[in-house]
């Protein structure tokens, strides 16, 4: 259904989410909004890693740029919420374009190290200037939900609706971009940049464009994350956030958007699983260390057994099964005294 009627599929999925949000408690609604944020962040990494072949271990820094841009525009200019999201996209995209200019000259571990350095250094920059609020950060308030939605419509449900509305629009738009000539050019650059250059594709320009778009998407994810926690601070965008997004992209499958929900739901569910285990055994050490251990174990198992992600693995199995069902059969035809034999599918 997704391939034949993608728009109807996204609308139907949005309607299901609307029904679900009316039957969940506040904690689950908040977690659902967080899933949407992770889905956008993971999708931006899939575009960068899986399609253009550029590795980023510091995507959390781009989320931070978007979050700070949205909060500053809201605090100092009282921008409407939709405009803060636009500003977040533009600010992160500009940062991504500058980083992409350097990325076009780097590859492999050098690029990964550069992005990692950005994720490590950005919090210290925020602490040096009072406009960013230091360690305490900035309060990001989008206001109460419209009164027309009723008195029982909670603030977290409002976050859920906004987050998933943005996420569905982003994922639908990104799917179309990946299936366009830009997506084909990025895949060509990822596969073999020399061959792509000989085919007339400007490798450097395509790498910068991919980094810019990916950063813009990360920026809106950062603004949505700031909205759900009502705060923008270095603690909201720690280094572990970058690693979590990279892990989520691997769990989802870096070559397809189809598994983005798997990675985002997993990232939200792991702390809950760790907390349940810690409550059973009553250990603070388990609460602190178990989430990282679970993420690492899942990452290792995914790389070993489904390196392209569960969804891509399922597609490969279906394609292999379809290919075997169309195996050659021998057809024998007798013409006069001669017997002719041929093979057909």
Mean pLDDT for each 10-residue chunk of the chain (345 residues)?
A: 69 84 87 94 92 87 94 93 95 91 75 84 81 89 86 89 94 91 89 86 89 95 95 90 88 83 88 78 69 78 74 65 52 48 49
Residue 88 maps to a domain: yes
Burial class for 246, CB neighbours closer than 10 Å (0-12, 13-18, 19+): buried
Residue 163 maps to a domain: yes
Residue 289 maps to a domain: no
Residue 248 maps to a domain: yes
Residue 246 maps to a domain: yes
Residue 205 maps to a domain: yes
Which CA distances in Å does 179 have to 46, 123, 175? 14, 36, 6
Number of domains in the chain: 1
**Rg (alpha carbons) of the chain, rounded to whole number:** 23
CB atoms within 10 A of CB 239: 17
Six token digits for residue 260? 């983005």
Note the pLDDT of residue 330. 47
Q: Tell me the helix, strand and coil percentages in the chain, rounded to 5.
A: 75, 5, 20
Residue 85 belongs to what domain range?
6-259
Residue 272 maps to a domain: no
Of 212, 216, 295, the C-alpha closest to 41 is 216
């Amino acid at each position: 259904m997704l391939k034949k009627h993608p728009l109807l599929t996204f609308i139907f999925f949005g309607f299901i989410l609307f029904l679900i949000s009316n039957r969940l408690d506040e904690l689950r609604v908040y977690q659902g909004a967080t899933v949407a944020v992770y889905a956008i962040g993971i999708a931006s990494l899939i575009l960068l890693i899986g399609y253009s072949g550029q590795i980023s271990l510091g995507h959390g820094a781009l989320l931070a740029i978007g979050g700070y841009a949205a909060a500053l525009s809201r605090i100092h200019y009282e921008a409407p919420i939709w405009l803060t999201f636009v500003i977040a996209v533009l600010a992160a995209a500009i940062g991504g374009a500058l980083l992409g200019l350097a990325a076009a000259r780097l590859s492999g571990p050098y690029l990964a190290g550069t992005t990692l350095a950005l994720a490590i250094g950005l919090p210290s920059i925020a602490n040096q200037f009072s406009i960013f609020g230091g360690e305490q950060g900035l309060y990001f308030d989008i206001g109460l939900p419209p009164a027309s939605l009723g008195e029982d419509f909670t603030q977290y449900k409002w976050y859920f609706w906004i987050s998933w509305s943005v996420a569905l629009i982003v994922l639908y738009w990104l799917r179309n971009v990946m299936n366009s000539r830009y997506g084909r050019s990025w895949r060509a650059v990822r596969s073999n940049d020399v061959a792509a250059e000989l085919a007339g594709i400007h490798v450097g320009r395509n790498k910068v464009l991919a980094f810019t778009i990916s950063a813009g998407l990360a920026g809106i994810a950062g603004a949505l994350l700031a909205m759900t926690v009502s705060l923008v601070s270095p603690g909201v965008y720690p280094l572990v956030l970058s690693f979590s997004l990279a892990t989520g992209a691997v769990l989802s499958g870096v070559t397809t958007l189809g598994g983005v929900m798997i990675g985002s739901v997993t990232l939200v569910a792991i702390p809950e699983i760790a907390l349940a285990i810690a409550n059973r055994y009553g250990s603070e050490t388990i609460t602190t260390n178990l989430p990282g251990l679970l993420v690492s174990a899942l990452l290792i198992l995914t790389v070993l057994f489904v390196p392209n992600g569960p969804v891509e693995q399922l597609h490969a199995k279906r394609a292999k099964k379809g290919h075997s069902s169309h195996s050659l059969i021998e057809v024998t035809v007798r013409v006069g005294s001669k017997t002719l034999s041929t093979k057909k599918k």
